[in-house]
Each structure stands twice: as C-alpha cells, then as structure tokens.
Amino acid sequence: MLAACLVASPALARRPAEAAPKPPTNDDCLACHGDPSATAADGRSIAVLPDKFAASIHGQSGVACVDCHADLATVTEFPHAEKVAPVACATCHPEAAAQYDVSVHAASRRKSPNSVAAACKDCHGTHGILPASNPNSPTNHFNLPATCGRCHGNADIIRRGHIAVGNVVTAFQDSIHGWALAKSGLMVAPDCTDCHHAHDIRRKSDPQSSVYRTTIPATCGKCHEGVERRYLTGIHGEALSKGNPDAPVCVTCHTAHRIQRAEGPAWKTQVLAECGSCHPESIRTYHDTFHGQETQLGFMRVATCADCHGAHDIFPPRDPRSTVSTTRVVSTCRKCHPGATASFARYDPHADKNNRQRDPLLFYAAKFMEALLIGVFAFFGIHTVLWASRAVKPGHPMSGPDGGPRSQE
C-alpha cells in the first residue's frame, strides 16, 4: 500500500533530492491521502478529500497540511512514521482554546483518556471546517441542536458520559424554542449555545456557569429583556437577589428545555401546581374556593394564580404595586367580572374556614354550620334508633307475626 502510493506520487518523484529540506506540500500529502479509498493498516480510512479540504476555511486561508500536522513538517522521506502526533488547534486559536479549557468537556477529557466528551473536532470537524456563518457548518445556528445532539441525544454516550440530565435534545426540539428554530427558521430563537455558550460550557452547579441558578434570569433576559426586568422588580426576583434559596427562577416555572407557549390549559395547570409547591397554604385555600374547584375540573377560564397575581412582577398584597392590593384588586377582578365593585372584591380568594385570625366571620359561620350538621345528625340518629327499637317490639303494628318486620306480600 505504501509502496503503491510512493510510485503513484509524481509530486514526490519530481522533488530534487539535493534541494534544501522544504516542508512537504499539500500535494505531497494528497498523493497518498487524496485517494478516497486510502486506508491504514488497521482498515481505518485515512482519506482526505481534496475538494472538501480546499473549500474549508483552512484550505481557503492557505493553512497547509503540515501547519496542523506539525510533526510531519520536517519529514523528507515517505512513508512517514506510522504514529502521527495529535493536532493542536490551540497553537493558532489560543482564545477559543482557553475558553474551551475551563469547560466541563475539557475537564472530562483531562480526567480520563477514554472520555467521550466533546473535543474541538467533535463540534467543528477536521478537514472540512467552516465558519459558523456557513449554513453547512456544524456550528451554524440552525445545525447546533444536531451537533450537540450527536452526544446529548445519544443514549449510549449519555450512559457512558454519566450525563445525569439525560436526553435534552428531543425535549428541546418539541419546545417553543426548538420549534421556532427548526420550523419557523428564526435567527432570534436560541440554539444550545445561546444559553450554554460554545466553548466555556459549564455545569449548572458551577457559579460561573451561564445556567447557574442566579444567572439564569440574565441568560434568558438576553432575549426576553422586558420579562427579566419585570421579574427582577417583583418579589421573586427580589428574594433571589437577597440570596433566598427558595426563590423561583425562569426555569422553575417554564423548565429549561421543554418550554411551551405560556397559554392553554395544560400549561396553566402545570404552573399552578408549581406555584402551589412553594405556597401550599395558598393553593389549599384556593382549591376550596369557586375558582379553584372549577380549575380542578379543568375549566381554565376561571382565575388561576397568575391571573390575579401576575406572572413576573408579583408583589405581596400589602404592596400598592400588587395586582391584588386594595387599590388595584377591583380592576383585577374586572378583567373577568366586568361588573365587579369594591364590595365584590372583598370576597377572599384564599378564604380559610379553619383560620380564625384571617377570616373570623367565615370561621364562626363554618363552626356554626358544623355544629348545625352534627346537631341534625345527632337528633335524627337518636330518633331513628328509638323508632327502630319500637318497630321490632312484638305485637307492634309495624312488625310481622314472628316478631320480625312485617312482610310486604
């Protein structure tokens, strides 16, 4: 195989043996490697398609084979050694390499030689590298879900790489963002790297990560700036900036990869449960009210938490900016009850019949109703017992001849 290549290499044959050693040219290398069927001893393809290389950014910029395969730059005789050193992209791209170095992918590769985490060539390729602006580049905006998806959507790599979150790619593709990217073709829809960065991808537990809990509002806010601003002024944003570990961030309510359009019964039911998971008292009392009972039945036109409190700029009721503060509550009810008055709005959507302090009237009314109910049952219970004992007495007009109840024939 090597001999055949040597013979077939006019470029090598033409070189005068006594000239000063010049690095081999691309043609020298392609004389053997340009053959699409070239294989190594172990059967691997070692072909480099000349047209593909020529069209790549490196081919276009005059980067030679031996600029990347630097250990072969001094080779004067072929065949060259079988072992060829790995290519160091970092020599020409120190900035990208430095960013990559701090990533979870680089750390994983440093830790283990068998790591399946992404290296430069996994995202960029080798001989056909194109700038991200090229629609055929694997790093192009519209191709990135598939590029990351080769691993993050691949069950085998997920298992071998111990990627706890699992397959996020199918979730992303079904999300509003994935849809906007793949189907609507929106330049402004996020790909994986808009939220995770391209090179310095870090774990969510890393405080420097773009998806670290307290950084998430800013990451989403790159595009949803108005929402971020409202969120940050509200009680949840305020609690987050004060370091409250229970404060919800964007993905608590929207998820990270399954984001849906914020409308419709399924979404509303889901976010309602989410509010309830942190405000168990409020959802309990809500379910006791008319609105809550209707939503349990699936009628989502009645008020959910966000219809009364807002979604992002939520404030405590005592804050005048709150949609349920005494100054604003009437107009909030009027969104759906056009005739609502101040006295209508006094109806407490979180009325709690067990809480004397909050709702004394309701508390005593409920206690009265309970007492009445018990009284009524007790009265009729005793009455029935007395009546029954009379009824089974022999000789009574309501009993049969054997002392049992009279038969009905």
How far apart are alpha carbons 178 and 13 in whole angstroms?
55
Is residue 181 involved in binding ligand HEC (CB under 6 A)?
no
Contacts of 398 (CB under 8 A, 6+ apart): 391, 405, 406
Is residue 66 a contact point for ligand HEC (CB under 6 A)?
yes
User: Nearer to ligand HEC by C-beta: 70 or 399?
Assistant: 70
Closest distance between ligand HEC and the C-beta of residue 356, in Å?
14
Print the binding letters for residues 159-178 with ligand HEC: x by CB under 6 A, - otherwise.
Answer: --xxxxx--xx--x---xx-
Please give the structure tokens belonging to residue 258.
Answer: 């399954």
Query: What is the footprint of ligand HEC within residues 22-51 (CB under 6 A)?
Result: 24, 26, 28-33, 40-41, 46, 48
Binding residue for ligand HEC, selected from 14, 18, 77, 82, defined by CB under 6 A: 82
Interface pick for ligand HEC out of 7, 336, 342, 385 (rule CB under 6 A): 336
Residues 345-404 touching ligand HEC, rule: CB under 6 A, are 345, 347-350
Report d(CA 340, CA 268) in Å as an integer: 24
Question: Are 250 and 216 contacting, i.e. CB atoms less than 8 angstroms apart?
Answer: yes
Between residue 278 and residue 297, which ones bind ligand HEC under the rule CB under 6 A?
A: 278-279, 282-283, 286, 290-291
Residue 300 lies near ligand HEC (rule: CB under 6 A)? no
Contact 36, 51 (CB under 8 A): no
- The least distance separating ligand HEC from the CB of residue 363, rounded to whole angstroms, comes to 14
Closest CA to 216 of 181, 241, 242: 241
- 253 contact partners, CB below 8 Å, separation of at least 6: 271, 274, 275, 311
- CA contacts within 13 A on the Cβ side of 394: 3
122 contact partners, CB below 8 Å, separation of at least 6? 150, 151
Q: Is 273 in the site for ligand HEC (CB under 6 A)?
A: no
One residue of 10, 16, 43, 86 binding ligand HEC per CB under 6 A: 86
Binding mask 206-235 for ligand HEC (x = CB under 6 A): -----x----xx-xxxxxx--xx--x---x
* Distant-in-sequence, close-in-space partners of 82: CB < 8 Å, separation ≥ 6: 41
User: 87-146: which residues touch ligand HEC (CB under 6 A)?
Assistant: 87, 89-93, 95-97, 100, 104-105, 108, 116-124, 126-127, 129, 131-132, 139, 144-145
Determine the Cα–Cα distance for residues 173 and 181; give it in Å rounded to an integer.
9
Our CB check for ligand HEC shows the closer of 276 and 356 to be 276
